[in-house]
Structure 1
Amino acid sequence: MTAMAPSRNEPDLSFLLDHTSHVLRTQMAAALAEIGLTARMHCVLVHALQEERTQIQLAELGDMDKTTMVVTLDALEKAGLAERRPSSTDRRARIVAVTEKGAQVAKRSQEVVDGVHRAALGSLPEEEAEVLVRALNRLVTGHLATAVEAPQPVRRARHRG
């Protein structure tokens, strides 16, 4: 007699969220690549425009490690979209200043990001899209607000833009 696999009693929420998140990220990457940006570059530009922020603060907001942040800033500087400057409040800290060109690109990239999100939600009937967003917001601020310390590191997506 062979053992039988246990039957699933609940929807596979992990698969549904992982798959939609993965595909959405690939669509986002492709759309941003058309204007010469990565999702990380977009994330840094937008957050750096909101207020004076250090490289460390921007890395945390974008969920990037130090190395990834340096690579991202190098790309932004090379493209003339941002530059590292000493902080006005702490001379030891380096802030990321967005150039005029960078601000224009950030405006365009935000339109691209909004368009990708609009297309995804627009593929659903309007009332379903509203319920989905409301439910996900409730999970993000409630039951799934904080990650649990896992016994071993859990691999996760690096981008939150």
Structure 2
Amino acid sequence: MTALVPSRTAPDLSYLLDHTSHVLRTRMAAALAEIGLTARMHCVLVHALEAERTQIQLAELGDMDKTTMVVTVDALEKAGLAERRPSSTDRRARIIAVTGRGAETARRSQEIVDAVHEAVLGTLPDTEREVLLRALERLATGHLAEPAEGAGANRRPRERHK
């Protein structure tokens, strides 16, 4: 007896989003590796420059667990790009402070991130680009803002980095 194969009635949205996200991450990783950074290191540098933030706050912004955050900050410290310091407002708290060299690296890494995004979006006509970005923004802040309960969805949604 031959099993009936269900017919697809819509494009495979999961594949399209997963595949494009994976390829974008690999391109971003390769581009940032040219200056010795990972995407996580870039994220920490940029967010630490925006405001005085603790390691926990930066981990939340970058969707990193504690262990990953510690490893990331250790790598930034070793490279001389950031350092752990006491907070100026709460002596019990320690913040991640970006060094002068780290600030310059963050500026360069943001240029790289912007260039990778532009290379991807630049393949689309302006009207499609605008529609895609608006639609993804609507999904990310609306229907797909929060993962489903249960179903092994342990990751928290990442805060949007502008």
Query: 1:70 aligns to what?
Result: 70
Letter in 2 for 1:83: E
Q: So what's the TM-score if we normalise by structure 1?
A: 0.93
2-structure distance, mates of 1:21, 1:89:
39
Q: Which runs of 5+ in 2 are unaligned?
A: none
What are the within-5 Å matches in structure 2 for residues 1-161 of structure 1? Answer: 1-153=1-153
Counterpart-to-counterpart distance in 1, 2:78 and 2:29:
19
Which one-letter code corresponds to 2:25 in the other structure? R
| Alpha-carbon spacing, 1:53–1:157, altered in 2? closer, same or farther (3 Å) | closer
Larger RCO of the pair (alpha carbons < 8 Å, separation 6+): 1
1:159 deviation in Å? 10
Quote the Cα distance in structure 2 between the aligned partners of 1:85 and 1:98.
Answer: 10
Task: Name the SS for the 1:97 alignment partner.
Answer: strand
Would you say the 8 A contact 1:87–1:94 is kept in 2?
Answer: yes
Cα distance in 2, alignment partners of residues 123 and 48 from structure 1: 32
> Hey, what's the Cα distance between the residues in 2 that align with 1:118 and 1:14?
23
For 2:99, the aligned partner's letter is T
Distance 1:55 1:154, change over 3 A: closer
CA, structure 1 residues 88+147, in 2 after alignment: closer, same or farther (shift >3 Å)?
same
User: Percent identity of the aligned residues?
Assistant: 77
Amino acid at match of 2:143: H
C-alpha deviations, 1:49-79, integer Å up to 9, x for none?
0000000000010011111111100110011
Q: Secondary structure at the match of 2:32?
A: helix
CA contact (8 A) 1:82 1:99 kept: yes
Q: TM-score normalized by structure 2?
A: 0.93
CA distance in 2, matches of 1:119, 1:34: 17
Cα shift at 1:11: 1.2
Q: Which moved more, 1:95-104 or 1:133-142?
A: 133-142
Residues 32 and 125 from structure 1, CA distance in 2 versus in 1: closer, same or farther, beyond 3 angstroms?
same
Q: Counterparts of 1:107 and 1:131 in 2: how far apart (Å)?
A: 29
Q: Which amino acid aligns with 2:54?
A: T
| Deviation at residue 153 of structure 1 after TM alignment | 4.0
| CA distance in structure 2 between the partners assigned to 1:160 and 1:129 by the alignment | 18
2:120 corresponds to which letter in structure 1?
A: A
How many residues end up aligned between the 2 structures? 161
Quote the Cα distance in structure 2 between the aligned partners of 1:77 and 1:36: 13
- The aligned amino acid for 1:37 is L
